[in-house]
């Protein structure tokens, strides 16, 4: 019986530890985000100018908000990217966060089921009329005529280039890399690169990263004016355009023109160690790579440049998405709503700090500012803001679709399935998924 008493005491003590928020009178809003957990390095930082990378800058901004707004308590929740399984579980449980980061492509899913609150009124309260944001940002968050999120940035695919290796391969001209203008040229340049440097032309994260292949596929389909989603229930992938693209991806793999078997962290490290020429990923690593490029002794020192994807077919177009802050539907007090408005205002004011990651800001004034434009490489990637396109509004379950198509593409690229079979399976699976949407 003594043991039982001891256990009871331990439980009581632990319960008290766990409830040390009792008695806190501040307005509390729960904020959920991805972008990683780096409290060890940035846990107490409140100066965004000294932070680097998505995780560092986001952590710092939130710390700073907390410091500048002592009357508001942010209950932070960091989820693993993209966090939708968790958000879904939370909404199903009736207890979603007050604010959560959401890709603009996912907003339709939740808004379509009536799970999000429109934020027009709060944005107005925060002094952020629609015109504050870029056209791309506005497009991404407007559904049924209302803003369902505060746009935060625009994300696009970029070619990150190791200029030192390119020079070694003879692929630099007047300080800029020579980019192909069609698939055959791409293969030729890649082969030359491999022959002259002994390293793969591309560094790619192929393991458990369906997103990058799918985004590239979308980009090149959009460039060829192919209709990907003719309506809300179907996808069209058994097209000559799609086949051309996937066959190129397969060719690159077969000829050993890319790194193999790397997952995302491995590919990141690989590029930073100078193990390949081009890392075709996105805006979010620009800031981190730029930091490497400024540090003497690092393989990327003075050897980094970044450009939008070269245009291989059709016109200049690329698939873009964006991050945004959404408000899931739940009961909120007027104080909490006011706190959210403060949050919006603060974040919009710090959009420039976020843009140091490499993402394109969603606040128009920031994009046009000399401060932004003079950040390294931004002039080179500026075209992305103009050529970027999203998928049509009526396309739901984009995250799940990305997973399905990505899986099939990975099979095609690895050679486990033929390109035709993979595209057919992808089309079938996505059609089935969309057909099941209630």
Partner 1 sequence: MSAPRDRLPLPALIGVVIGAAIMVAPLLWTLILSLKDNAALMRDSATAFAPPWTLANYAAILRGSSTFHWLVNSMIVSLGTTAGVLILCSLAGYGFARLEFPFRRALFVFVLLGLAIPEQAVILPRHQLFAQLHLHNSYPGLILPGLVSSFGVFFMTQYFRAIPRELDEAAMLDGASRFTLFWKVLLPLTLPAQATLGVFTFLGSWNDYWWPLISATRSERFTLTVGLASSQMNYAQTSGLGFLMAQAIFASIPIFIVYILFQKQIIRAIAGAAVR
Partner 2 sequence: MNRTTRRYEGFLFVGPFLFLYLFLLVYPLILGIGVSFHRADPFGGRLWVGLDNYARLLADPVFWQAVVNTFKLTLLIVPPLTILALALALALNRATRSAAIFRGIFFSSSVLSVTIVTLIWRFILTPDGGLIANILHATGRDPIPFLSDPHLTIPALAIATIWWCLGLPMMLFLAGLQQIPPDVYEAAALDGAGRWTTLWRITLPSIRRTLILVVMMQTAAQLQIFGQAQLLTAGGPSGASRPIVLLIYEIAFGRWELGYGAAAAELLFMLVLAVTLVQYWAVTRREADA
Query: Whose Cβ is closer to partner 2: residue 303's or residue 400's?
Result: 400
Is residue 296 involved in binding partner 1 (CB under 8 A)? no
Q: Are 329 and 119 in contact (CB under 8 A)?
A: no
- Of 434, 437, 436, the residue nearest 234 (C-alpha): 434
The one of partner 2, partner 1, none whose footprint includes residue 70, by CB under 5 to 8 A per kind, is none
Give φ, ψ of 161 to 5 degrees. -115, 135
Q: Give the HSE-up count for residue 79: Cα atoms under 13 Å, Cβ half-sphere.
A: 19
Q: Report how far residue 367's alpha carbon sits from residue 360's, in angstroms, rounded to the nearest whole number.
A: 7
Is residue 20 involved in binding partner 1 (CB under 8 A)? no
The residue within the footprint of partner 2, chosen from 21, 173, 238, 260 (CB under 8 A), is 260
Is residue 10 involved in binding partner 1 (CB under 8 A)? yes
Q: Are 244 and 183 in contact (CB under 8 A)?
A: yes
The one of partner 1, partner 2, none whose footprint includes residue 14, by CB under 5 to 8 A per kind, is partner 1
Name residue, tokens 């004034």.
Answer: 365
Q: Report how far residue 291's alpha carbon sits from residue 268's, in angstroms, rounded to the nearest whole number.
A: 13
Least Å distance between CB 340 and partner 2? 22
Query: Read out DSSP for 307-330?
Result: EEPPP-SSSS-EEEE-EEEE-BS-
The one of partner 2, partner 1, none whose footprint includes residue 131, by CB under 5 to 8 A per kind, is none
Residue 193: burial class (beta carbons within 10 Å; 0-12, 13-18, 19+): buried
CA angle 211, 347, 334 (to 5 degrees): 110
Cis ω for the linkage preceding 82 (within 30 of 0):
yes
The one of partner 2, partner 1, none whose footprint includes residue 438, by CB under 5 to 8 A per kind, is partner 2
Is residue 174 involved in binding partner 2 (CB under 8 A)? no
Find the binding residues for partner 2 in span 380-419 (CB under 8 A).
397, 399-400, 403, 407-408, 410-411, 414, 416
The residue within the footprint of partner 1, chosen from 264, 316, 375, 433 (CB under 8 A), is 264
The one of partner 2, partner 1, none whose footprint includes residue 10, by CB under 5 to 8 A per kind, is partner 1
For residues 130, 132, 133 and 139, what is the CA-based torsion angle, rounded to 10 degrees? 20
Residue 415: burial class (beta carbons within 10 Å; 0-12, 13-18, 19+): exposed
Name residue, tokens 């079938």.
Answer: 428
Query: Whose Cβ is closer to partner 1: residue 50's or residue 373's?
Result: 50
The one of partner 2, partner 1, none whose footprint includes residue 255, by CB under 5 to 8 A per kind, is none
Chain centroid offset of residue 367 CA: 18
The one of partner 2, partner 1, none whose footprint includes residue 382, by CB under 5 to 8 A per kind, is none
Give φ, ψ of 322 to 5 degrees. -170, 160
Q: Which stretch binds partner 1 (CB under 8 A): 2-10, 217-225, 248-256, 424-432?
A: 2-10
Counting every residue, how long is the chain? 438
The residue within the footprint of partner 1, chosen from 37, 364, 389, 431 (CB under 8 A), is 37
The residue within the footprint of partner 2, chosen from 30, 262, 387, 398 (CB under 8 A), is 262
Q: Provide the mask over 50-69, with x wherever binding to partner 1 is found by CB under 8 A and - wherever it is not.
A: ---xxx--------------
Q: Which stretch binds partner 1 (CB under 8 A): 14-22, 100-108, 225-233, 319-327?
A: 14-22
Least Å distance between CB 44 and partner 2? 26
Helices and strands of the chain, counted as H and E runs: 21, 15
The residue within the footprint of partner 1, chosen from 9, 80, 144, 188 (CB under 8 A), is 80
Interface with partner 2 (CB under 8 A): 84-85, 88-89, 91-92, 113, 115, 206-208, 260-263, 265-266, 269-270, 397, 399-400, 403, 407-408, 410-411, 414, 416, 425, 429, 432-433, 436, 438
Interface with partner 1 (CB under 8 A): 4, 7, 10-11, 14-15, 17-18, 30, 35-41, 43, 53-55, 75-81, 85-87, 89-90, 92-95, 97, 264-265, 268-269, 273
């Amino acid at each position: 019986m003594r043991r039982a008493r001891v256990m009871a005491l331990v439980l009581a003590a632990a319960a008290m530890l766990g409830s040390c928020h009792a008695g806190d009178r501040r307005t509390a809003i729960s904020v959920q985000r991805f972008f990683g957990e780096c409290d060890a390095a940035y846990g107490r930082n409140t100066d965004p100018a000294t932070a680097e990378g998505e995780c560092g800058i986001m952590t710092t901004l939130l710390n700073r908000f907390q410091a500048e707004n002592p009357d508001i308590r942010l209950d932070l929740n960091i989820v693993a990217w993209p966090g939708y399984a968790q958000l879904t579980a939370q909404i199903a449980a009736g207890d979603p966060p007050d604010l959560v980061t959401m890709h603009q492509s996912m907003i339709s899913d939740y808004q379509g089921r009536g799970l999000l609150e429109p934020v027009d009124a709060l944005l107005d309260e925060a002094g952020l009329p629609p015109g504050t944001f870029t056209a791309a940002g506005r497009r991404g968050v407007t559904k049924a005529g209302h803003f369902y999120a505060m746009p935060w940035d625009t994300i696009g695919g970029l070619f990150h280039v190791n200029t030192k290796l390119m020079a070694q391969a003879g692929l630099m001209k007047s300080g800029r890399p020579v980019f192909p203008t069609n698939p055959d040229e791409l293969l030729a340049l890649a082969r030359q690169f491999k022959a002259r440097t002994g390293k793969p032309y591309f560094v790619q994260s192929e393991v458990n990263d369906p997103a990058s292949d799918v985004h590239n596929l979308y980009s090149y389909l959009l460039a060829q004016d192919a209709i990907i989603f003719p309506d809300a229930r179907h996808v069209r992938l058994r097209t000559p355009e799609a086949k051309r693209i996937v066959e190129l991806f397969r060719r690159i793999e077969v000829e050993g023109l890319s790194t193999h078997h790397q997952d995302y962290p491995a590919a990141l490290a690989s590029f930073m160690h100078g193990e390949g020429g081009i890392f075709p990923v996105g805006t979010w690593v620009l800031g981190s790579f730029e930091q490497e490029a400024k540090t003497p002794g690092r393989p990327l020192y003075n050897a980094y440049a970044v450009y939008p994807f070269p245009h291989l077919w059709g016109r200049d177009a690329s698939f873009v998405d964006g991050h945004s802050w959404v408000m899931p539907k739940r009961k909120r007090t007027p104080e909490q709503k006011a706190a959210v408005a403060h949050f919006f205002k603060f974040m919009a004011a710090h959009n420039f700090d976020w843009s140091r990651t490499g993402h394109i800001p969603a606040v128009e004034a920031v994009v046009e500012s000399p401060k932004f434009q003079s950040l390294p490489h931004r002039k080179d990637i500026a075209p992305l803001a103009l050529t970027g396109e999203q998928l049509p509004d009526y396309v739901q379950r984009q995250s799940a679709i990305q997973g399905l198509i990505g899986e099939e593409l990975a099979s095609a690229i690895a050679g486990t399935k033929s390109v035709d079979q993979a595209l057919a399976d992808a089309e079938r699976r996505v059609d089935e998924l969309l057909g099941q949407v209630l």
